[in-house]
Structure 1
Amino acid sequence: MAPLTDRPRAAEPHQELAQRIKRWREARGWNQQALADRAGFARSTLSKIENGLLSPTFEILLKLAQGFGCTLSDLVRAEPVALVGRLVVERGTPGVGIDNPNTRLWPLGADLRGRPFQSMLVEFTQGDLAGFGDWNRHETDDMLHVLSGVLVLHTEGYAPVTLHPGDTVHFDGTMPHACLRGGTETETCRCLYVFAPR
């Protein structure tokens, strides 16, 4: 079976994301190499993403956002509707989640501009550290608040931490880490994720 990151993403949210990346790149007059250089990864990776052959990891999405000079929420959400002021009310889970290796993400408040932090709902879908792959590491300060299920956080230099609904953890996103779903296979681990790019 192919690794999760190499599986084609034919679902509508992934097609929209791939099309948005290509549209934004072409609107700036950049070829794939120009955007890849700005984002700091290989042009071949960008080509696979734009053609729906690769589901970008969280780290790659962060790099793409930095390459475009926008927030991650701007990149992964549908084109926002212009709002007056800074009040956004979102009821329930916002739309279809973006599947990532080991997670499913729902960006929150994408219409708010100029804020020093970003927020998401995140489901951790991997329960086995051996199947997690490379640990995450990104240029952010992170906070996770467990809403449901059990979260097991592995970090470099610290013993694993198990968190339950109502528990919160703050950590340095540059530290290698892996977030796993604890409990049984039928339990959903959903968290509020708040992060501030450095």
Structure 2
Amino acid sequence: MIEPDVLGESEQSATSSVARILSELRRENGWTLAEVSKRTGVSISALSKIENGQSQPAYSVLTRLSSGLGLDFADLLEGKAGRPSFARAARAITRKGEGKRLKNDMGIYRLLSTELAAKALTPMVIDIPPRAENSEPARSAHSGEEFVFVLSGDVIFEMEPYTPVVLAEGDTVYFDAASSHGFYSAGPGGARILSICYSGSNEAPDYLTV
């Protein structure tokens, strides 16, 4: 698992990077928050909180920002505002324990192959905690498709309009990521999954709002 002090620094860095990118792009292009909201499907109030460092964007919000603004997902977290293209014969090796880290209500994410720009796929290893007693279930919805492989533990997968299902170690699920979905560990010790997301388009669906 990730040590709390290291994770905290990563969260703060990712939040400030996204805030800076938003501010720079709006200034360079003369965009209002309303125009960015229309491009990304993220509400004006959420954009304002992100830009002012008052809110840490969830994964689903980050995917809408990267897609709607034409940025690579990893570059958005790193604070790079360019619009690179995927290089021919490119490759990336991520060693055990390496990768860009972030945390939200769904779990602790480790983003893989972040040095590759303009990827069609976003691979991640996610540590999934048990659902806290009396807490609201964490939910995500983002454009494209998602494939999940359970690396360890038992995971409860919820997705509208289906009933919840338990996925054991070695099980997989492939689904429409635009449908509201969520994961939480079925056991007290947590679980770990490999998630691979495909955006499918640079257009953020109009119905994806915060």
TM score, norm. by length of structure 1: 0.78
Which structure 2 residues correspond to residues 94-133 of structure 1 after superposition, within 5 A?
94-95=98-99, 97-128=101-132, 131-133=135-137
| CA spacing shift, 1:121–1:22, aligned 2, 3 Å | farther
The code of the aligned residue for 2:77 comes to V
| CA spacing shift, 1:124–1:134, aligned 2, 3 Å | closer
User: How much does 1:86 deviate?
Assistant: 0.6
Aligned residues: 187
User: How much does 1:29 deviate?
Assistant: 4.0
Task: Output the CA distance in 2 between the equivalents of 1:135 and 1:98.
Answer: 16
User: How much does 1:144 deviate?
Assistant: 0.8
**Aligned match of 1:136:** 140
Higher relative contact order (CA 8 A, sep 6+): 2
Task: Output the CA distance in 1 between the equivalents of 2:26 and 2:184.
Answer: 34
Q: Of 156, 162, 180, which aligns to 1:158?
A: 162
| CA spacing shift, 1:141–1:190, aligned 2, 3 Å | same
1:193 aligns with 2:201: no
1:68 aligns with 2:69: yes
Cα RMSD over matched residues?
2.9
Task: Output the CA distance in 2 between the equivalents of 1:141 and 1:172.
Answer: 5
User: How much does 1:40 deviate?
Assistant: 2.1
**Contact 2:106 2:138 survives alignment (8 Å):** no
Task: Output the CA distance in 2 between the equivalents of 1:117 and 1:12.
Answer: 23
User: How much does 1:35 deviate?
Assistant: 1.9
Deviations 1:96-147 (A, max 9, x none): 5211222222221123245432211222235148523463222221111112
| CA spacing shift, 1:21–1:150, aligned 2, 3 Å | farther
Which structure 2 residues correspond to residues 45-64 of structure 1 after superposition, within 5 A?
45-64=46-65
1:26 aligns with 2:27: yes
Moved more, 146-155 or 128-137: 128-137
Consecutive unaligned residues in structure 2, runs of 5 or more? 1-9, 201-210
The code of the aligned residue for 1:44 comes to S
TM score, norm. by length of structure 2: 0.74
